[in-house]
């Protein structure tokens, strides 16, 4: 795809190659990724905090579950889920809300750049960072914790974790458009930390009060965790770790996807309402 610039003077007409829609999306991803990496407290924190949590809660535990799963592997799944889900919520929540607060979203609306290209940049940025988180945690678990999986299981676990970027981005967008821009970070923390705690990402649900287990049954993070545990753990160990009977995988998938659809619709309605308000 080539765009032509108007030419009013002597000399050849210069052409600017955009690479078409895919080229623009790739450029948007690269731009967002560079912006994230230029913010050390965000990029380093996104990867470092899950590593620190795993080093604190996973590596010291040498126990084995009744079915033979090491607690270090179970904690790897839990902390990886925490890291990737939090990344999705904060990239799409706090970051997009910041763009709204700075007027960047309004500026983009006045340009030929389509909203889907802007969102593709956010998605690509989050996917790359999610891969970094999962890879770093997996290397730490394998080399420092002695966690052993076959290549297929490592890849399946990684793919499951990276899918959380898409599954939980609607929650981030809902926060970005329903909360005030300056309050989005606080709202994201107030929502995500209880979700992670009540879903057993920090401590097994069996070690928490029964009321937490009851609440967990209706949380999307809990159901995502159940999907992730089942990738690398037998059902018996998942039941022991989660203190709940296993269910068919499709039930957990419906819960997670249902939340994504409802929250995505809420974010879309809020974004359209804001656009109408700006035009009106």
Report domain extents, the chain: 18-279
Which backbone phi and psi does 4 adopt, to 5 degrees?
-110, 135
User: What gap in Å lies between CA 265 and CA 97, rounded to an integer?
Assistant: 17
* Rounded Cα distance, 20 and 137, in Å: 36
**What pLDDT, on a 0 to 100 scale, did the predictor assign at position 101?**
74
pLDDT of residue 113: 62
Longest CA–CA separation in the chain, Å? 81
CA–CA separation, 50 and 239 (whole Å): 24
Residue 100 has pLDDT above 90, yes or no: no
Three-state secondary-structure class, residue 73? helix
Give the best-scoring range by mean pLDDT among 30-39, 109-118, 182-191.
Answer: 182-191
Query: pLDDT (tens digit, 9 = 90+) per residue, 203-253?
Result: 888 888 889 989 999 999 999 999 999 999 999 999 999 988 889 999 999
Per-residue confidence band for 14, with pLDDT thresholds at 50, 70 and 90: very low
Q: Is the pLDDT of residue 177 over 50?
A: yes
Predicted local distance difference test score (pLDDT) of residue 15: 44
pLDDT at position 4, please?
47
- 64 DSSP 8-state letter: B
Between CA 56 and CA 110 the distance in angstroms is: 48
* CA gap 188, 192 in Å, rounded: 6
Whether residue 60 has pLDDT greater than 50? yes
Q: Which ranges constitute the DSSP H helices of the chain? A: 20-37, 40-57, 71-90, 96-101, 104-109, 115-143, 151-178, 184-198, 210-216, 220-232, 235-242, 249-279
Average pLDDT of 255-273?
Answer: 87
Q: Given a cut of 80, is residue 120 above it in pLDDT?
A: no
pLDDT confidence of 141, banded at 50, 70, 90? very high
Note the pLDDT tens digit of each residue in 71-99: 999 999 999 999 999 888 887 777 777 77
Contacts of 2 (CB under 8 A, 6+ apart): 15, 16, 17, 18
Q: In this prediction, what percent of the chain has a pLDDT beyond 90? A: 43
Task: Give the C-alpha distances (Å, rounded to integers) separating 186 from 32, 95, 108, 176, 263.
Answer: 22, 12, 26, 11, 18
In which band, very low, low, confident or very high, does the pLDDT at 152 lie, cut at 50, 70 and 90? very high
- Cα distance between residue 128 and residue 89, in whole Å: 15
- The answer to whether residue 129 scores a pLDDT higher than 80 is yes
- The answer to whether 42 touches 36, Cβ cutoff 8 Å, is yes
Tokens of 162: 């990276």
| Cβ atoms of 192 and 94 closer than 8 Å | no
Work out the average pLDDT over 57-83.
93
pTM for the full model?
Answer: 0.84
Beta-bridge partners for 67: none
């Amino acid at each position: 795809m080539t765009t032509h610039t108007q030419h009013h003077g002597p000399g050849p007409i210069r052409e600017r190659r955009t690479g078409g829609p895919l080229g623009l999306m790739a450029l948007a991803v690269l731009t967002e990724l560079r912006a994230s990496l230029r913010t050390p407290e965000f990029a380093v924190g996104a990867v470092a905090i899950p590593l620190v949590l795993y080093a604190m809660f996973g590596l010291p535990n040498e126990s084995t579950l009744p079915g033979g799963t090491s607690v270090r592997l179970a904690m790897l799944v839990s902390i990886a889920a925490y890291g990737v889900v939090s990344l999705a919520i904060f990239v799409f929540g706090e970051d997009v809300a910041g763009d709204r607060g700075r007027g960047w979203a309004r500026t983009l609306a006045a340009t030929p750049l389509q909203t889907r290209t802007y969102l593709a940049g956010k998605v690509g940025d989050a996917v790359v960072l999610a891969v970094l988180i999962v890879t770093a945690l997996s290397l730490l678990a394998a080399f420092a914790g002695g966690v052993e999986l076959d290549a297929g299981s490592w890849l399946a676990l990684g793919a499951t974790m990276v899918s959380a970027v898409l599954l939980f981005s609607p929650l981030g967008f809902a926060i970005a458009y329903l909360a005030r821009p300056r309050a989005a970070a606080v709202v994201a923390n107030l929502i995500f930390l209880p979700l992670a705690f009540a879903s057993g990402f920090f401590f097994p649900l069996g070690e928490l009060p029964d009321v937490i287990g009851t609440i967990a049954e209706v949380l999307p993070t809990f159901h995502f965790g159940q999907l992730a545990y089942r990738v690398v753990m037998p059902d018996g160990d998942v039941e022991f770790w989660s203190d709940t009977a296993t269910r068919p995988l499709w039930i957990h998938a419906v819960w997670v996807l249902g939340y994504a659809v409802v929250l995505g619709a809420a974010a879309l309605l809020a974004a359209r309402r804001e656009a109408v308000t700006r035009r009106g």
